[in-house]
Amino acid sequence: MNKRYRIFSLFITSILILAMLSGCVNTGSTPQEKTFNYGTMAYGVAMGNVGLNPHEGYSGWSTIRYGVGETLFKFNESMELEPWLATDYEQIDEYTVRINLRDDVTFSNGNKMTGEAVKDCLENLIAVHDRAPSDLQIKSIEADGQSITITSNIKVPGLVNYLCDPYGTIIDMEAGVTEDKNVVGTGPYIATRVTDTEINLISNDNYWNGEVIVNNINVKSITDGDTLTMALQSGDIDAAQGLPYVSLQLFQDDPDYTISSTNTSRLYQAALNFRSKLIQDDAVREAMALSMDKEGFTSVLLQGNGSPAIGPYPANFTFGGDAVRADEYDIDKARDILEDAGWIDSDGDGIREKDGKRLTIRWLTYTSRQELPLLAESVQATYKEAGIEVLVNATDNFRDFLQSGEYDVYASAFVAAPTGDPQYYFTTHVVDGSDYNRGYYRNDNVEKLVEKLREEFDTERRSGLAVEIAQQVLDDRAYIYASHLKMSFVMRNGVAGFTAHPSDYYEITSKLDIDK
């Protein structure tokens, strides 16, 4: 053997040994301090929520999720409003609302949260943010001691709901935003370091709402599902969010881990394109709705991490779940309907034809949400049993195809009611000409009902309208709703106070506790 070679290999081995030894040095916290390491898929450049400035893009999600900031109101498990930094609100008239704030809240730097401070924060929000101004339609804000009065340009029944969106996080405008996008909020934790891939937090000793138990938190962005899984298994992290479905199996039966799951309003839906001749055939649409195996999709492919959807809203909403009726999985019925409508398999290849035209559906979708390609494949197989051929086009480049109109179905993911209010979904998906109405659907009755919804302030009546509109959409079979996302946190035993919330906004709270 070459002498040089031997020397080199010795050199490398010693480096490796040195490295391993240095790795063994504990870089953790001091023994009395509690540290929580948290790995998540949801933080990162690709999500547009890097940094903690709520007035920038989607970063407000990070501010709330990681315990740095809070909003005026928040949602409970049924997505109903609850006081948080505010105590209550009064609808003075259809354009004005007055919000009363708590008296005992301070920002983490000691400054008191007053009406003025909230006014400054919200004014900055509508000055610089992209989505907030059109949602809130604020004309002016007045501050008076511990309350503010908001006047709107138009009637906005969901205004207070919108303020629960993470962009409504109240931050201290006096302290402003630092260069690394850190802010001063009212939450139980303060960020010491903010980067594209990691946030380091320490406890806020001035927190207004109770004692903060954990001293240090490290939020790590891990975008690879398998790395995240193994990081949790090895103890590199204490809890994980966003694990791939197949990995959940590893922890479900393991007594050393706990899983906290919840149904969210993130919806997987298929929009049927009314500009396509095929889709205009009522029988085809009905057969398609009957042939989607939602149970199989959620229980097997998603391994139980989803609930079959009936309408656009999940069961924990009063106007969601089985408040509406949709077609149930029935292949035989689908076959019959197609036969009766003249779709016969004349050449015996398993796919039906009519007037020389083959029953082929072009299914357009994208891949950035793992569920969508799975749904497409599942649909391909079940539709085939009914005699419908599905050509899947799952591509990052879906916008090209949307523009050219070369699709019969567009399957997408959408958070149907981020603020608990039903209006948002309808005005974006179902109204003629709306931005996300990929199927070019139009129904005059629906148009009328949505107009009524825009003006209705009473929550119960809003609920009723929501049910009516959703039912009409389902009867027209303009959309087929596949499932709602079930979101889970997996944590090792010893972590407490870390629960999943249907809104997907709340993760780290003062209730968090860990045993080490």
Partner 1 sequence: MKDTNAMEVSSKGFLNIKKEKTAYFKLYLLCALTGILLLVTFFSPKLVPFDPYEQNLSEALQGPSNAHLLGTDRFGRDMFSRILVGGQTTILTSLLLVGIITSVGTAVGVACGYKGGKFDSFVMRISDIFLAFPGMVFAIAVASLLGGGIMNAVIALACISWPKYARLARGQVLSVMNMPFISAARLSGSNSMKIIIKHILPNILGTILVTASLDIGTIIMELAGLSFLGLGAMPPTPEWGSMMSNGRSMLQTSPWTVLAPGFAIFVTVMLFNLLGDTLRDVLDPKTKM
Partner 2 sequence: MIAISFFCNQHSMLYRKRGFLLVKKFIFKRLIQIIPIILGITFLSFALMHTAAGDAVDTLYDSNSSGVSEQIKEERRAELGLDQPFMVQYSKWLKGVLTGDMGISYISGKPVFETFISKLPATIYLMLTSIVLTLLIAVPLGILAARYRNRLLDYCIRFLSFMGNSMPNFFVSLLLIYFFALKLKVLPVMGYGRSPLVSVILPTLTLTISMASKYLRQIRVTVLEEMNKDYVLGGKARGIRDNVIFYRSILKSSMLTIITLLALSIGSLLGGTAIVESIFMWDGVGKLAVDSITMRDYPMIQAYVIWMSFIYVAVNLIADIAYQYLDPRIRLNQED
Binding site for partner 1 (CB under 8 A): 225-226, 229, 244, 246-247, 249-250, 293, 296, 300-301, 367-368, 373-374, 376-378, 380-382, 392-397, 400-401
**Alpha-carbon span 479 to 269, nearest angstrom:** 7
Which residue number, 57 or 304, has a Cβ lying nearer to partner 2? 57
Which residue number, 298 or 509, has a Cβ lying nearer to partner 1? 298
Q: How is the chain split among helix, strand and coil, in percent rounded to 5?
A: 35, 25, 45
Strands 96-101 and 147-152: antiparallel
Which residue number, 39 or 311, has a Cβ lying nearer to partner 2? 39
Binders of partner 2 among residues 356 to 375 (CB under 8 A) are 366, 368-369
Which residue number, 109 or 249, has a Cβ lying nearer to partner 1? 249
Measured in degrees and rounded to the nearest 5, phi and psi for residue 501 equal -120, 140
Residue 247 contacts partner 2 per CB under 8 A: no
Count helices and strands in the chain by DSSP H and E runs: 16, 21
Which one of partner 2, partner 1, none is in contact with 2 (Cβ closer than 5 to 8 A by kind)?
A: partner 2
Binding mask 377-396 for partner 2 (x = CB under 8 A): -------------------x
Binders of partner 2 among residues 113 to 142 (CB under 8 A) are 130-131, 134
- Of 31, 32, 93, 234, the one binding partner 2 by CB under 8 A: 234
Residue 421 DSSP label:
-
Residue 61 neighbours by CB distance under 10 Å:
23
Residue 197 contacts partner 2 per CB under 8 A: yes
Residue 196 contacts partner 2 per CB under 8 A: yes
- Of 123, 124, 303, 436, the one binding partner 2 by CB under 8 A: 436
CA angle 404-484-460, nearest 5°? 105
Measured in degrees and rounded to the nearest 5, phi and psi for residue 287 equal -60, -40
Give per-residue burial for 470-479: e unless 16+ CB within 10 Å, then b.
bebbbebbbb
**Alpha-carbon span 136 to 228, nearest angstrom:** 37
Which residue number, 57 or 225, has a Cβ lying nearer to partner 1? 225
Residue 196 neighbours by CB distance under 10 Å:
12
**Alpha-carbon span 242 to 179, nearest angstrom:** 29
Binding residues for partner 2, per CB under 8 A? 2, 5, 8-9, 12, 16, 18-20, 22-23, 25, 27, 44-51, 56-58, 130-131, 134, 195-198, 218, 220-224, 226-227, 230-231, 233-234, 236, 266, 366, 368-369, 396-400, 403, 412-415, 418, 424-425, 428-429, 435-436
